[in-house]
Amino acid sequence: IVWESQQEGGQGPRRQEGRSREGAIRMVRGSQRRKLQKFTRLCGREEGLRVKRSCPSCGPELGVEEKKAKGNPISIQLFPPELVEHIISFLPVRDLVALGQTCRYFHEVCDAEGVWRRICRRLSPRLQDQGSGVRPWKRAAILNYTKGLYFQAFGGRRRCLSKSVAPLLAHGYRRFLPTKDHVFILDYVGTLFFLKNALVSTLGQMQWKRACRYVVLCRGAKDFASDPRCNTVYHKYLYVLATREHQEVVGTTSSRACDCVEVYLQSSGQRVFKMTFHHSMTFKQIVLVGQETQRALLLLTEEGKIYSLVVNETQLDQPRSYTVQLALRKVSHYLPHLRVACMTSNQSSTLYVTDQGGVYFEVHTPGVYRDLFGTLQAFDPLDQQMPLALSLPAKILFCALGYNHLGLVDEFGRIFMQGNNRYGQLGTGDKMDRGEPTQVRYLQRPITLWCGLNHSLVLSQSSEFSKELLGCGCGAGGRLPGWPKGSASFVKLQVKVPLCACALCATRECLYILSSHDIEQHTPYRDLPASRVVGTPESSLGTGASQDPGGTAQACEEYLSQIHSCHTLQDRMEKMKEIVGWMPLMAAQKDFFWEALDMLQKAEGGGGAVGPPAPET
């Protein structure tokens, strides 16, 4: 020590002061270590070891010597659940989901509603209502985390997606409609937003305007529609189906909720017309069909019935009040047993999908009818509203309708295309028209399907963590990015698809992709039975062995026992109608059986008690 002090020239006192500080630090650390050991002994050695084994993410157990050297570790399971949830709620959503996949304990903690409630409040501070469902807070948080509207221009050199300005008050994105300069977005609580001047042109390239203003156009909206043509120039008016409080008697305070259709100018968002319906009629969907002077509004009720009314759009800007006639559509008048689940339309045709998976068509012009079916044999120009049933092998889940072609997706995830194929928009590999649904065999289980003027788009899941956009048809104007000459088969487009993309739409200028993930909605695809897979050998009739892989005979015996348990003829007829709806028949076959049963019911005049047949009969 004396030598060090002589060499350092008087630095000995400083060195002693540093050693005293190090000793104080050792004393503090020692006291903290003793307090920690005292706390761990309170839990008991067996309980601590049991808790540690129950959490595999903590790693393998240490040896006895290592335990003595490091002391008993503290498991996070010893903390109060409220404290753990509070700490985890500060994680980003992506990290929270990854943490929930590490072990069972963290899965239960990360899936708690308390965690998602804090995350939802952080993502959407102005959200008033978390919505409904089994997991309302988790659903609301994921909806607001994944919501987004993306845009990619067809022309120019820029080949990347741009994200729009997200309204802070929006509770997820359910639907959207682009116009020439504006965008309309409907969220999951029925609020319709109007994004004014969302697009700007910079040196000939379209891009999002970051400083665009968004306003709440209306609340309580159920659905909205506009001119069904792909060209946004024709989108002049916006028809909104909403629910409003209506006074029962003028001068009183009593009111009742009634459905109405409000018409807005898409250029300014000003309301120019309103139609209010009786409170006993509730609707869930609206579509438009026809020309501007004879615009037909098709309204789908909660019971699956279709009503229509005709409006002249050229007179909507004139202030006046008049009564319009709401009439039952022929598809619901002549086929009252059908329950329509959804519908879609273009300028000259309408497509109905029933709850049993049947598809019915209305075609109003001979040219489109020839493109869709290849003939004019069954076209009646005097009765254009009479529905036509499409022959399909399975239940249809959703569909898409273009100008002169259509796409259908069945319960097994198969895609069927029909109609004009001049530009290869059916994706069948050739340019031959199809007068009946034709399967596209190399595509399975799409997320959504869109049909335009002369091209088609399919959004599919390429892997667990990525999606891709496929397209076919005309590629002029950059409609198929990466394929300027077009393609007669579905090819992968050069578009970076968001992870949670769920819907898409294309106009003449650009492509729109809607991003939103609802944990309570998923496409219920089924596995195709082995007997219906292409290439599977059919059961031979000469073997004499009774093969019933699908359990058809057993199901028929069960159906007969159910019919036998009914005591009256009326009950047996109703049960038979219900069984026909269950059986895997084509739509035309089901209609035949239902019509035949109705004729038998009318012939019997209601029917009485069923007994043994009389000898003379």
Give which of 33, 16, 75 is closest to 50, Cα–Cα: 75
Query: What does the chain come to in residues?
Result: 617
Res 66: pLDDT: 53
Q: What is the pLDDT of residue 342?
A: 94
The answer to the question of residue 462 being in a domain is yes
Q: Which residues of the chain have pLDDT under 50?
A: 1-11, 13-14, 39-40, 42-59, 203-204, 211, 534-550, 607-617
Three-state DSSP state, 121: helix
Give a yes or no: residue 471 inside a domain: yes
Give this prediction's pTM. Answer: 0.72
Rounded to the nearest 5°, which phi and psi values hold at 491?
A: -125, 155
Largest CA distance in the chain: 137
Q: What is the residue whose two structure tokens read 């000259």?
A: 348
DSSP symbols for 124-160: -TT------SSSHHHHHHHHHHH-EEEEEESSSS--S
Structural domain boundaries enclosing 406:
368-493
Structural tokens at position 240: 């909104």
**DSSP helix/strand/coil, 387:** coil
The two three-digit tokens of residue 77, written as one number: 């399971």
DSSP state of 428: B
Pair of tokens at residue 565: 């348990």
Question: Could you count the other beta carbons within 10 Å of the beta carbon of residue 480?
Answer: 28
> In Å, how far from its chain's centre is CA 360?
22
Any domain includes 389: yes
Q: What pLDDT is stored for residue 5 in this prediction? A: 34
What is the per-residue DSSP string for 464-502?
TTEEEEEEEE--GGGSSTT-TT-EEEEEE-S----TTEE
Residue with tokens 């999606």: 467
Instruction: Round to whole Å and give the CA distance between 288 and 310.
Output: 10
CA distances from 208 to 145, 152, 381, 546 (A): 20, 10, 45, 65
Phi–psi pair at 558, nearest 5 degrees: -65, -40
pLDDT at site 559: 77
465 within domain boundaries: yes
**pLDDT for the residue numbered 266:** 87
Cβ proximity of 198 and 219 under 8 Å: no
Indicate the pairing of strand 306-311 with strand 466-473: unpaired
The whole-angstrom separation of Cα 25 and Cα 6 is 28
Give the C-alpha separation, 535 to 528, whole Å.
13
Q: Is 65 within a domain?
A: no
Q: What is the pLDDT of residue 550?
A: 46
The full DSSP string for 280-342 is: T--EEEEEEES-STTEEEEEEETTS-EEEEEE-GGGTTS--------EE-HHHHT-TT--EEE
Coil, helix or strand at residue 15: helix
3-state secondary structure of 60: coil
Q: What is the C-alpha separation between 228 and 299, in angstroms, rounded?
A: 15
In this prediction, residue 45 carries a pLDDT of 41
Does residue 64 belong to any structural domain of this protein? no
Q: Can you tell me the distance from the alpha carbon of 281 to that of 260, in angstroms, rounded to the nearest whole number?
A: 10
pLDDT score recorded for residue 561: 79
Residue 103 lies in a domain: no
Reading the block at residue 498, the tokens are 């968001």
Residues 6+ apart with CB under 8 A from 52: 58, 61, 73, 75
Residues 550-559, buried b or exposed e (16+ Cβ, 10 A)? eeeeeeeeeb
Total domain count, the chain: 1
In-domain check, residue 231: no
Decide if 334 contacts 342 (C-beta within 8 A). no
Q: Which of 346, 384, 386, 352 is nearest to 365 (CA)?
A: 384
